[in-house]
Amino acid sequence: MLVLVAGLVAFLYLRPQTNIDGPALHEVTTLKLADFNAIKVEFPTQAPTTFEKIDGFWRMTAPYKARADQISVQRILSIIAAKTKDKFSATDKEKFGLNNPQLRLKLSGAAGIEEFIFGTFNTVTDEQYVAYKDSVYLLSGGYAEAATTQAIEMVDKSPLAQPEAKQIAGFDYAHLEQWEDIGLQVDIVEGNWKTNAPKAKITQNELNEWLDFSWKQAQAKQVELYTPDRKITYPSFKIKLKDGTKVHFDKIQESPDLLLARPEEGLLYHFANDVGFTMLNPPLNIN
């Protein structure tokens, strides 16, 4: 039996290999993500959406000025790595719907501007004709979909910017109703959690997990634009950062969803009620 198995293995290893290569794939570009620091998505009948890379992170600069969802921007940029078996000359623009494009994507960097022009869809494959330089490529409609996502959906849904989340040094919950009596402060001092709550029985691991899941990884269900009403005073709290600055949030609503506003950013974050409760109530084990 062992001889039979060994012979079969040798046959499979030594037999001539069948050529299973598919059709050659064309790379749309040889560009790299690091080549670009600005993006402009142009539409035929609406204002463009633009992004700029600042201190290593993408920010939306139009139609809103806000932190951008980094993954959404990377999806837009992913066209530079696209491959396809279908490549055509760009001499007949009307044939591919490029004379009246549905979308123009302009990527800017130190070397200049790279432009991608999106034409019509192929009715057979449901793929889209996209022109780059002197060629037209048949690509997945996902590239256009990424670029045409509603602008508000491409705003970062994290209440804290990534550099802020890495700098958290404590929480001032003294102006929330449930913590006003004790003026709750929860701080990280020399790597350990401390609190002024007299009956608290804190566990370092519990608070570390709470910080990680409730704040560092927090993602709102929805983000919308927000204009502060200076005539109204809302319950509020502050997140302390290691550099001495504080991030202020107003609690606009607690139920059915928690609505947290960052007035200086002009944004309102929606969180599910259970998630929101945990965000505003650290595990202090107060009896």
> 13 pLDDT exceeds 90?
no
Over residues 9-36, the mean pLDDT reads 70
Per-residue pLDDT at 230: 87
CA torsion 21-23-29-34 (nearest 10°) is: -30
> 12 pLDDT exceeds 70?
no
Within the chain, all domains assigned CATH 2.60.40.4250 are found at 25-153
Per-residue pLDDT at 14: 40
> 10 pLDDT exceeds 90?
no
CATH number of 25-153: 2.60.40.4250
Q: Which two tokens stand for residue 156?
A: 């970062």
Q: Are the C-beta atoms of residues 197 and 284 closer than 8 Å to each other? A: yes
* pTM for this entry: 0.87
Q: Which two tokens stand for residue 107?
A: 């990527």
> 2 pLDDT exceeds 50?
no
Per-residue pLDDT at 23: 72
Per-residue pLDDT at 21: 60
pLDDT band of 287, cuts 50, 70, 90: confident
Per-residue pLDDT at 5: 40
Model confidence over 25-50: pLDDT tens digits? Answer: 999 999 999 999 999 999 999 999 99
Separation of alpha carbons 114 and 107, rounded Å: 5
Query: For residue 135, which of 206, 64, 84, 192 has the smallest C-alpha distance?
Result: 84
How high does pLDDT run on average in the chain? 92
Per-residue pLDDT at 22: 62
Q: Are the C-beta atoms of residues 251 and 259 closer than 8 Å to each other? A: yes
Model confidence over 141-181: pLDDT tens digits? Answer: 999 999 999 999 999 999 999 999 999 999 999 999 999 99
Q: Which one has a higher pLDDT value, 273 or 8?
A: 273
pLDDT band of 24, cuts 50, 70, 90: confident
